[in-house]
Amino acid sequence: MRNRDSVSGASARSARKPVLALLMTASLGLIAAGCGGGSGGSESGESGGSGEPLKIGVILPYSGVYAQLGEDITNSMELYLDEQGGEIAGRPVEIIQEDTEADPQAGVQAARTLLEREDVDFLTGAVSTSVAYGVIDLAEREQVPFVISNALGNDATRQGSDYVFRTSGNSWQVTHPMGQYLVDQGVEEIFVSAADYAAGTEMAGDFKAGFTEAGGEVVDEAYPPLGTNDYSSYLTNIEQSEAQASWSFYAGSDAVSFVQQFDEFGLHETTDLYGTGNLVGTDTLEAQGEAAEGAQTALFYAPDLDTPENQEFKESFQSSFDHEPGVYAVQGWDAAWLMGEAVKATEGDTEDTDALIEAMENVDFESPRGPMTLDANHNPIQNIYIREARAQDDGSVQNVVVDTIEEVEDPGE
């Protein structure tokens, strides 16, 4: 692990304002909103010294099934910038949003618009891995840092681009270590299922590798189409396999349907349920209710983490947006932190991209997720939390951390 110099931190967090007074946020797609502030800034850098706006181009889904993810990521970015008074190193900040619809073609066009027409200083976002893969070449060509705030595809950072950073994690980190963990917990045989698309098959492949390398046996596997409503045939396969446990990757409405039907099918009586954090996440637990109880999942964030950074973040986000933040909000916060603290380190200068990238590589995070640094490929080194869905005194079901796999680093290949 690298020894990184502190770029900023406590002073920024202490500057929190009671009211979200954002100075930016354009409507979807077209025009950059102006920002207040801007008292002159640094005299050392051409960009910073001029007090020119710092432009952050955001490519996220604001429509379609992943719209809520885009909103949560954006809200957290705005929360960070609000704490800075709407300016970084003397430069007022503009957020320019483009709706990707989680569609690769729309995502590439959105990135092209932001890079070529808006001349942004940073590009960030990409919920879909396919969108991220389509944008990387553009960011490299324009030599603009691209901060991935969600997409988990392994190769996005394994390509080793100087211009690509990530503040979420990758597929390997939330799956492969759990394979070893479950074998250590006495799970010998497991049924694997995942939604049939690129992320699902990559997640399942990495989990199977971790589980079998540790000595476990995958007895069977299934890959229902994305958007499946009726899982009965797949649940029958799980039952007939007589597997000790089931590991799954589903997200959003797929996760809700699968977990509810898993419970209705009576499989909870015979088969332990495991998966990635998406399976019983903050965004699905209310709909899943008691059906989710007992499920154990792996992710790099858990809402009950008892750290000052997490408690402060949760209170601030809840106060501003009237709901509890989940992992997507944390990823957005850390993306804004990475860009903001790096620009402070360069005193507002974003023209010298080598210096800017070096500053980004050396940012000292104070993340709600706990310890976090960046590896040589700019992917986070972070804890993976094993969470169990448990009933709470208020009748809700929430994830509770039951174990921690510390400082998980992607192998890079």
10-residue mean pLDDT profile of the chain (413 residues): values are 31 32 36 31 43 95 86 96 96 96 91 97 94 95 97 96 98 98 98 94 97 98 94 98 97 93 96 96 93 98 96 97 94 98 98 97 98 98 98 95 98 90
Q: Are 182 and 245 in contact (CB under 8 A)?
A: yes
Sheet of 146-148: strands edge to edge?
87-88, 91-99, 54-60, 122-125, 146-148, 164-166
Give the C-alpha separation, 233 to 376, whole Å: 44
Q: Where on the phi/psi map is residue 219: left (φ > 0), alpha (ψ -120 to 50), or beta?
A: alpha
How far is C-alpha 237 from the chain's CA centre? 32
Give the single-character DSSP code of 292: G
Tell me which long-range contacts 361-364 makes (C-beta under 8 A, separation of at least 24).
361/4, 362/4, 362/5, 362/7, 363/4, 363/7, 363/337, 363/338, 364/4, 364/5, 364/6, 364/7, 364/8, 364/9
Give me the pLDDT at residue 8, please. Answer: 32
Give me the pLDDT at residue 67, please. Answer: 86
Give me the pLDDT at residue 164, please. Answer: 98
User: Of 240, 197, 245, whose CA–CA distance to 217 is shortest?
Assistant: 245
Give the C-alpha separation, 235 to 276, whole Å: 18
Q: Are 389 and 292 in contact (CB under 8 A)?
A: yes
Give me the pLDDT at residue 243, please. Answer: 97
In this prediction the pTM is 0.86
Q: Are 410 and 375 in contact (CB under 8 A)?
A: yes
Give me the pLDDT at residue 26, please. Answer: 38
